[in-house]
C-alpha cells in the first residue's frame, strides 16, 4: 500500500501552551487508522490542522506528495479530505436530504447526481424515515449519521472522523461501524479519533496514541493499546 | 422512481421556495387589483414607497435571511444608488437609461469592495462595520455641498407622468426582484448561502468557499438596494441624505422580521403592512418608532418566523387536520 498522507514534525501552540509538539506519522491508502489519547492530548488540534481549520506553526502535511500547508478547508474538501466534527455540524434549518444535496453540489456533483447519491446514502445510513425532516429536528445520533453521509457524497480520499461514536445509540453505532467497514472494503481511508477502545480495536489496523501534544506510541492497534505508556497516559502510573 | 419521490416532497428546499414564490405572485396579483378601489394619488404614493422598501427588504433578506450576514447598510446603498442617478443627471445630464445601470453597477462595485472587508468578519463586527460605512457615506453626501447640494438633495428626472403607471411599474420591479432572488436561491448558490447561514465552519469543511459566496451575496444585495434607490429617486424626483438614515435601515429590518425572515413573500408583506402602519401612525410623530420597536420585540420573541411563518404553520395544521 502507498502512503496517502504524510505528516512531518507538525507543531501548534496556543499562547504558551504547546498543543501539538513535532508530531509525525503517515496513513496508508485504504487503511483505517485510530488516533487515541486522553482529553487535551492534541488529537482534535491535529485533525483541525489536517482539515485546514488551523494552520500549523511548523511541519508539513502532504497528501500523495502534494503539500497541503496553508490550504483552506473548502479547498481540502475538494481535494478529498472530508471532516466529521465531534459536535456535529449539519445545516439545521433545511431538510436532511437538502443537507446531502448541498454537500454533493459543493463537491462538484450535478443536482441529479446529488439526488441519486443522496438517496443511496440515506438507505445505507438507514435515515430514509427522517430524510425530509429539518436537520435540526434529528436526534444527536441521526445528525452524526447525516454528517457521515455529507462527507461521503463524493468518495473522499481520506475521511477524518472526530469522536463519531460518542453519545450515539448502540444501534446507530452499529450502522456507522458497518458503513465504515463497507467503505473501507472498497478502498476508502479513515483517520478516526475515538475514546471507544473496543471499536478502535475492531476497526483500526493501526493506531497512534498522543499525550500532552506528543505521539507516545504508534503501530499495530493491539500492541499500542497494551503499551505501558498508553496505559499510564489513560489511567495514571498506578495501573502500569 | 426513487429520484422522482425524493425531489417531490414539499419539505425540500426547492419545493418550499416554489410555494413561497407562488405566494409572492398571488400577493402581487392582489395588489394589481387595489387601484380598482379608487385609491387617491396620496394612497398610491404610499403603496409605491412601500414597494420601494419591499425591494430593499428583499435585498436585505437575501443577505441576512438566506446567508445570515446582518448588514446595517441597506438604506445607505439605496441612497448611493439614488445619488448615482441624481449626480449623473445634475453633472452630466445622463438619461435614466444610462444612469440606472450605472447605479446598479456602481453599488455592486462599492458593495464588493465593502464585502471584501466585512465577509471575513462575523456577527456584531460585520454589523458594526456596515453601520459605520452607512453613517460615513451619509455624512459625506450631506457635507459635499459642491457636488451633492448637501441636505437639499438632488433632482432626478421622472420616468412616467402619473402615479398609477408608477404603481404598476413598481409591482413589476418587485416581481422582477422576486424572480431574480427565486432563480438565485434555486441554484446551487442558494443552497450554499443556506449552508453558510446555518453553520459557516461546517459549510467550509464540506467544500463551500464561504468568503467567496458571502461576497457574492453581499455584492448582489447591495446592487439590488442601489437599483431600488435609483428607481425610488425617479419616482420621488428627489434624492436626499435622508434616504440613508439609520432609521430607514431599522424600518427595513422591522419589515423583514415582521413579514418573515428567510422567505420571499415575508419581506413584501412586511414592507406593505409596516409602511401602511407607519403612515397611519404618522400623526403621533416619533412615537411611532417606539410602536414599531415594540412590535419587532413581540415578533422576535413570540413569532420568530414572522407573518409568513405563521401562515405556513397554519397551512401545516390545516393539512394535518385534513389528513386526520
Task: Report pLDDT for B1.
Answer: 42
CA distance B61 to chain A (A): 16
Calpha distance B72→B246 (Å, rounded): 8
- pLDDT of residue B75 exceeding 80, the answer is yes
Structural fold of domain A3-239:
Rossmann fold (3.40.50)
- For chain B, the average pLDDT equals 92
Beta-ladder partners of A210: A215
Task: Report pLDDT for B296.
Answer: 83
Q: Which residues of A touch B188 (CB under 8 A)?
A: 102, 105-106, 111
User: A90 and B202 in contact by Cβ < 8 A?
Assistant: yes
Distant-in-sequence, close-in-space partners of B61: CB < 8 Å, separation ≥ 6 = B256, B261, B262, B263, B266, B267
User: B197 and A132 in contact by Cβ < 8 A?
Assistant: no
Beta-ladder partners of A162: A193
Residues of chain A with pLDDT under 50: none
ipTM of the complex: 0.91
Q: Where are the alpha helices (DSSP H) in B68-206?
A: 74-92, 96-118, 123-143, 145-148, 163-186, 188-198, 200-205
For B262, name the nearest residue in chain A, comparing CA atoms only.
A93
- Give residue for cell 434624492: B239
- Give residue for cell 441597506: B74
Over the stretch A60-113, which tens digit does the pLDDT of each residue have? 999 998 999 999 999 999 999 999 999 999 999 999 999 999 999 999 999 999
Query: What does the CA dihedral B32, B38, B41, B45 come to, rounded to 10 degrees?
Result: -30
- pLDDT of residue B2 exceeding 50, the answer is no
User: B194 and A93 in contact by Cβ < 8 A?
Assistant: yes
User: B6 and A131 in contact by Cβ < 8 A?
Assistant: yes
Strand pairing category for B238-239 and B154-155: antiparallel
When pLDDT is averaged across residues B235-250 and rounded to a whole number, the result is 94
Calpha distance A58→A46 (Å, rounded): 12
Query: What does the CA dihedral B175, B177, B182, B188 come to, rounded to 10 degrees?
Result: 160
Calpha distance A125→A132 (Å, rounded): 15
When pLDDT is averaged across residues B230-239 and rounded to a whole number, the result is 96
User: B194 and A94 in contact by Cβ < 8 A?
Assistant: yes
When pLDDT is averaged across residues B219-244 and rounded to a whole number, the result is 96
Across the interface, of A53, A77, A112, the residue whose CB is closest to B207 is A77
Task: Report pLDDT for A239.
Answer: 52
Strand pairing category for A32-36 and A206-211: parallel
User: How many CB atoms are closer than 10 A to CB B41?
Assistant: 11
Q: Is the overall model pTM greater than 0.80, yes or no?
A: yes
Amino acid at each position: 500500500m502507498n502512503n496517502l498522507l504524510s505528516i512531518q514534525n507538525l507543531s501548534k501552540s496556543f499562547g504558551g501552551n504547546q498543543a501539538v509538539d513535532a508530531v509525525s506519522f503517515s496513513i496508508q491508502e485504504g487503511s483505517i487508522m485510530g488516533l487515541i489519547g486522553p482529553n487535551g492530548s492534541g488529537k482534535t488540534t491535529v485533525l483541525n490542522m489536517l482539515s485546514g481549520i488551523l494552520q500549523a506553526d511548523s511541519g508539513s502535511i502532504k497528501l500523495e506528495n502534494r503539500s497541503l500547508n496553508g490550504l483552506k478547508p473548502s479547498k481540502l474538501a475538494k481535494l478529498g479530505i472530508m471532516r466529521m466534527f465531534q459536535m456535529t455540524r449539519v445545516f439545521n434549518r433545511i431538510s436532511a436530504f437538502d443537507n446531502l444535496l448541498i454537500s454533493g453540489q459543493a463537491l462538484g456533483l450535478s443536482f441529479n447526481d446529488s439526488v441519486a447519491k443522496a438517496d443511496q446514502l440515506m438507505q445505507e445510513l438507514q435515515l430514509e424515515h427522517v430524510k425530509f425532516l429539518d436537520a435540526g429536528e434529528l436526534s444527536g445520533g441521526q445528525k452524526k449519521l447525516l454528517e457521515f453521509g455529507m462527507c461521503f457524497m463524493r468518495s473522499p480520499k481520506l475521511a477524518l472522523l472526530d469522536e463519531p461514536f460518542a453519545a450515539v445509540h448502540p444501534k446507530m453505532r452499529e450502522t456507522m461501524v458497518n458503513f465504515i467497514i463497507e467503505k473501507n472494503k472498497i478502498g476508502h481511508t479513515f483517520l478516526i479519533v475515538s475514546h471507544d477502545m473496543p471499536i478502535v480495536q475492531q476497526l483500526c489496523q493501526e493506531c497512534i496514541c498522543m499525550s500532552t501534544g506528543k505521539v507516545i506510541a504508534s503501530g499495530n492497534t493491539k500492541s499500542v493499546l497494551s503499551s505501558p505508556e498508553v496505559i499510564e497516559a489513560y489511567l495514571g502510573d498506578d495501573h502500569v | 422512481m426513487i429520484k422522482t419521490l425524493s425531489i417531490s416532497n414539499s419539505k425540500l428546499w426547492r419545493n418550499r421556495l416554489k410555494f413561497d414564490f407562488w405566494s409572492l405572485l398571488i400577493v402581487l396579483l392582489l395588489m394589481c387589483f387595489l387601484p380598482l378601489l379608487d385609491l387617491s394619488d396620496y394612497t398610491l404614493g404610499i403603496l409605491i414607497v412601500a414597494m420601494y422598501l419591499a425591494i430593499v427588504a428583499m435585498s436585505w433578506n437575501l443577505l441576512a435571511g438566506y446567508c445570515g450576514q446582518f448588514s446595517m447598510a441597506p438604506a445607505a446603498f439605496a441612497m448611493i444608488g439614488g445619488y448615482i442617478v441624481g449626480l449623473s443627471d445634475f453633472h452630466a445630464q445622463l438619461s435614466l437609461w444610462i444612469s440606472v445601470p450605472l447605479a446598479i453597477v456602481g453599488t455592486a462595485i462599492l458593495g464588493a469592495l465593502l464585502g471584501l472587508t466585512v465577509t471575513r468578519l462575523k456577527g456584531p463586527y460585520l454589523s458594526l462595520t456596515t453601520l459605520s460605512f452607512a453613517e460615513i457615506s451619509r455624512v459625506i453626501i450631506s457635507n459635499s455641498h459642491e457636488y451633492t447640494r448637501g441636505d437639499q438633495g438632488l433632482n432626478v428626472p421622472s420616468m412616467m407622468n402619473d402615479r398609477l403607471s408608477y404603481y404598476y411599474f413598481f409591482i413589476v420591479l418587485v416581481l422582477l426582484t422576486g424572480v431574480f432572488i427565486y432563480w438565485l436561491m434555486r441554484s446551487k448558490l442558494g443552497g450554499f448561502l443556506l449552508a453558510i447561514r446555518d453553520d459557516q465552519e461546517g459549510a467550509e469543511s464540506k467544500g463551500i468557499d464561504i468568503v467567496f459566496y458571502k461576497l457574492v451575496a453581499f455584492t448582489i444585495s447591495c446592487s439590488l438596494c442601489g437599483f431600488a434607490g435609483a428607481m425610488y429617486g425617479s419616482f420621488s424626483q428627489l434624492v436626499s441624505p435622508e434616504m440613508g438614515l439609520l432609521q430607514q435601515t431599522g424600518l427595513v429590518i422591522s419589515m423583514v422580521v415582521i413579514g418573515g425572515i428567510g422567505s420571499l413573500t415575508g419581506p413584501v408583506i412586511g414592507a406593505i403592512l409596516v409602511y401602511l402602519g407607519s403612515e397611519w401612525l404618522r400623526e403621533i410623530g416619533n412615537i411611532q418608532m417606539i410602536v414599531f420597536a415594540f412590535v419587532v420585540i413581540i415578533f422576535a420573541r413570540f413569532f420568530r418566523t414572522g407573518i409568513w411563518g405563521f401562515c405556513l404553520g397554519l397551512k401545516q395544521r390545516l393539512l394535518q387536520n385534513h389528513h386526520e
